[in-house]
Chains A and B, each alone.
Chain A
Amino acid sequence: MATTDPAQTDLGFTDPDPRRSGPLDRLPAIAIPVISVLLAFAIGGLLIWLQGVNPFRAYYVLFSSALGTPEGLLRVMEKSTPLILTGLAVTVGLRTGLFNIGAQGQLLVGAIGAAWAGYHFQLPMVVHLPFAIVFGMLCGAAWASIAGALRAYRHVSEVITTIMLNSIAIALVDYLASRPFKEPDQPISRTPLVADSATLPFFGPIPSGFILALLVAIFFGWFLVRTTQGFRFNTVGLNPSAARYAGIPVKGTILLAMAVSGGLAGLGGAVETLGITGRFEPAFNAGLGFDGITIALLARANPIATIPAALLVGTLRSGAATLQFQTGIEPEVVDVILAITLLFVSAPIVARLLFRKRNVKQTTVTSGWGS
């Protein structure tokens, strides 16, 4: 049954044309994530209170340290940058009916690809920087295309393959960082520093990677709604059968969407390497791709909404250390809050999946044709 339909995962994120939605439709779309976040904060506050700390003070410390100082704001921007991009990566997949769990692996491959392009070549900045960024992006795209091709042409669930490719990516980058790409004459598994000509500069106080991430998010906000290719992505996500009748090459679209998704995650890794860490080291970049899933679901697969969602996660992660310093609350409380948020925002999807199951039961006769 599952082998014949190349895109039947309906995750409820395939909005064909938001312009048609009335105000009644728009309100709950914002309300679900907002309420999820508020509920998560309420439960997180309860946990903080149980540890003997006033939750209002804890949240005040968390947010004021992240947003109240120039250094804090810089860190929020730096932490949010890869999150916007991995959030977009997952978003593009969701819109096309693909659940890309592999943003983490694609990001790692992109990060080490950009590092290699950054340290291995000596080029003028005007060539070197774009080359390193694009190379990292292509590495991520190529990595995701493995899962995309398996999905499009062999009907293998991308959920499974992207998870498995994450593990392979971790092993691959660990190998590369500890053997062929390793910085010589020192004990740590890491690449050399990238050249200055491949390092993302600052625009005044703002890291250019952050600006790039914002521009990419805005671009995809336009691309998914206003372009033919974006329409194809959405249509395939909505109903691949209808898309096929409409003359859309479904398999090619799935492969392309997966490549774009992986390219965005790879871009996130490239920007992280070239803008923040300056080199690839396996311990860096942990969890960025998985945060992308939270962000995309929190943003309801809306590209523009990934910006505030990523900023929220970046703010929480940025303020966690000061939270522990000032109140003794362990930084993992942030993970708890994010996990609860994810639970609440995905509740509608779970409901939808359950709902669909019931429908399947009612239509056993017809589904028998397909299997």
Chain B
Amino acid sequence: MALRVDGVPPTKVKATLRPQMSGAESRVGLGPLTKGHTHMHRKWGLAAAAAAAALVLAACGGSSDGGDSSSSGGGGGGGEGDCPGADSFCIGLVTDTGKVDDKSFNQSAWEGALQAAQETGGYAKYIETVDPKDYENNINQFIQGGYDVIVTVGFLMGEATVTAAKANAGVAFIGVDQFQGEEVANLTGLVFNEDKAGYAAGYLAGLMTQTGKIGAVLGTDTVPPVVLFGEGYKAGALAANPAVDVTLVYHEPNNAFNDPEWGAAESKKQLEQGADIIFGAGGNTGNGALIEIAKAPGAGESTFCIGVDTDQFFTVPQAAKCLLTSAEKKLTLGTKDLIILAKDGKAPGGNFFGLTGLAPYHDTEAAVPDDVKKKVEEVIAGLDAGTIVTDVTLG
């Protein structure tokens, strides 16, 4: 540490000996500071002048075409974003905070909107939400633009959607993954029985496991759909094979859906403990688990992973090798069907339960025996028909 010189505390020594340490110019007192500033500023003034000159040049070069199009954009009374006319069918989609290519809900719902636009000859457009406080404003963009159907994605947007639907009875709203507590006539919540999807995945895992141990790496247990997926998985596995050992791990609430490292570490742990099939459900956290399992020895032959929500063969191609299937919410199908119903004014108020199921086996097709495939198909049909119940309830 610092030396003491003649009993003077080191800080005081520094004060007298090292005035230059604190700035470009000598700064013992307050006086010389202005001098330092002037010096700096003069230099910056020069740079500024050069930059300004460059800007002026750039502005001159671009000014001619700038004038043209700003008049076309501003003067038309409606820009490119507005619904082109009263006779066209316009679909607007507002994402939850995230992009339309998020490989998850936003993307699936947007694909549904695109398919619906194609089938109806309509027009679809999206706005990506950056700040959750802008939900209302982003929905209003489409309302003011004269859109016929507005799709909002994700349960966090539920309240903003209800408010907008109540205020705009003439517009049909579809709330993807938004459970409706009270019925609003022009708002349909597209929801899913996650326990059914989890049950089907668990049933398959229970039939497929060689070690008798399976696992699941899940988002937080404070979000009910995650719990339904997990408990459904467990119930399905036990229904297929009562002797199977099922381990469920939940992430802590903080950062629950965006912690791929944690997902990878937990899946590794479960593999080491002998699990040979692991279900990853929890956004990027679950995806981290899937990708880790794909790297394990025997991936796709003796070790498998199961994805969630959408067909993760396409959304997480890095995990394709181990991906047995995905516990799927048929989100694209549900969104498309509801939009088409809404076009004919037939979308029901309240909740609409979309179908769930399992995604195709893809690369692991050969690893699954035919009798297992058949049994799983029967179980999915039974779940859809209501003849099989998962017996999962939230505690």
Contact = CB atoms under 8 A, between A and B. Distances in A.
A348 B79 CA distance: 41
Contacts of B27: 10, 238-239, 242
B180 to A, nearest CB: 13
Interface string B95-134: 0010100000000000000000000000001011111111
Interface stretch (B44-52, B353-361, B381-389): B44-52
A356 B48 contact: no
Contacts of A32: 44, 48
A324 B11 contact: no
Contacts of A327: 79-81
Contact of A10 (B22, B28, B132, B254): B22
Interface string A48-83: 000000111100110010000001000100000000
B393 interface: no
Given A42-B58, A57-B73, A277-B133, A29 B41 contact: yes
Interface footprint category on A:
35 or more
Nearest to A235: B30
Interface residues of B, number: 71
Which has the most chain A C-beta neighbours within 10 Å: B65, B133, B137? Answer: B133
A35 interface: yes
Nearest to A353: B24
B70 A54 contact: yes
Contact of A188 (B3, B10, B62, B156): B156
Given A42-B55, A360-B21, A5 B14 contact: yes
Interface stretch (B32-40, B259-267, B319-327): B32-40
Contacts of B335: none
A321 B137 contact: yes
B167 interface: no
B168 interface: no
B135 to A, nearest CB: 10
Contact of B69 (A8, A10, A57, A355): A57
B65 A54 contact: yes
B41 A5 contact: no
Given A175-B254, A241-B15, A31 B44 contact: yes
Given A10-B22, A171-B254, A242-B29, A189 B44 contact: no
Interface string B1-25: 1110100001111110110111110
Given A178-B222, A188-B155, 17 more contacts: A4-B2, A17-B30, A38-B51, A57-B73, A60-B73, A64-B74, A71-B140, A174-B255, A242-B29, A286-B131, A317-B131, A321-B134, A327-B79, A327-B80, A348-B44, A362-B20, A366-B17
Interface of A: 3-6, 8, 10, 12, 16-17, 20-21, 24-25, 27-29, 31-32, 35, 38-39, 42, 45, 54-57, 60-61, 64, 71, 75, 170-171, 174-175, 178, 187-189, 235, 238-239, 241-242, 244-245, 276-277, 281, 283-284, 286-287, 317, 320-322, 324-328, 330-332, 348, 351-352, 355-356, 359-360, 362-363, 366-367, 369-371
Nearest 7 pairs between A and B by C-beta? Answer: A241-B15, A56-B66, A28-B41, A325-B81, A174-B254, A326-B79, A326-B81
